[in-house]
Amino acid sequence: MIKLLFGDITKISVDAIVNAANSSLLGGGGVDGAIHRAGGKAIMDECIKISERKGGCPAGEAVITTAGKLPARYVIHTVGPVWHGGMKNEDKLLANAYINSLKLAVKNGVKTIAFPNISTGVYAFPKERAAKIAISTVRQFLKTDKSLSEVVFVCFDRENFVIYERLLKV
Ligand code: AR6
């Protein structure tokens, strides 16, 4: 049910891929930039509409759009916390980013979903700590929800991949 992949999330054929966006929803670098570049204008058009309607997306929450030209059907845009040393509710906000993405996926009939390593790039969340939260949150969610058939962790950097490989074995 939980899979690990090393590579580019924009290339993956699942029902939904998750984007590590920022609160503006209006694009950025990292995986966000890659998704918008590969998926085309349709994704940004919907992000702009959501942003106008809701004033963006706070950390820990998630919104859904088309996946444009990507092989996935949907992009779920979530916003992870910026790492400030661990005393600013970062752990909880990161767990919420995973939970609210999963909830939105289920609500939209998604069966297969792929996550990048949210917050571990520009937002500088320590990678091992983030991976433990990601894995335990997803495992916990899968215990109660029976509609998802596959959750894929997609690691783009080797350091994250090695951490996930080790943590997923136990
Ligand atoms: N496929 C999968 N993972 C990727 C890809 C890709 N194509 N490209 C990068 N990663 P980051 P954050 C990994 O910085 O830390 C943006 O500017 C990368 O190796 O993309 O949540 C947003 O607009 C890292 O492990 O997201 C926000 O402003 C992980 O994706 C801000 O960055 C997350 O790195 C969000 O920062």
Q: Model confidence over 65-81: pLDDT tens digits? A: 999 999 999 999 999 99
Q: Collect all residues with Cβ–Cβ distance below 8 Å to 35 and sequence separation of at least 6.
A: 9, 10, 17, 19, 43, 70, 75
Is the C-beta atom of 112 inside 6 A of ligand 1?
Answer: no
Determine the atom of ligand 1 nearest the C-alpha atom of 127: 25
Ligand 1 site-directed mutation target among 36, 122, 155, 157, most atoms within 8 Å of CB: 122
Domain carrying residue 68 = 2-169
Is the C-beta atom of 160 inside 6 A of ligand 1?
Answer: yes
The catalytic position among 8, 15, 32, 157 is 32
Q: How many domains are there within the chain?
A: 1
Q: Model confidence over 6-29: pLDDT tens digits? A: 999 999 999 999 999 999 999 999
Is the C-beta atom of 15 inside 6 A of ligand 1?
Answer: no
Active-site annotation holds for 32: yes
Q: Indicate whether 135 pLDDT > 80.
A: yes
**What is the average pLDDT across 129-143?**
98
pLDDT at 32: 98
Q: Model confidence over 25-48: pLDDT tens digits? A: 999 999 999 999 999 999 999 999
Give φ, ψ of 154 to 5 degrees.
Answer: -105, 115
Give 76's strand partners: 18, 64
50 residue type, one letter: I
CATH of the domain at 123: 3.40.220.10
Using pLDDT thresholds of 50, 70 and 90, give the confidence band for residue 170: low
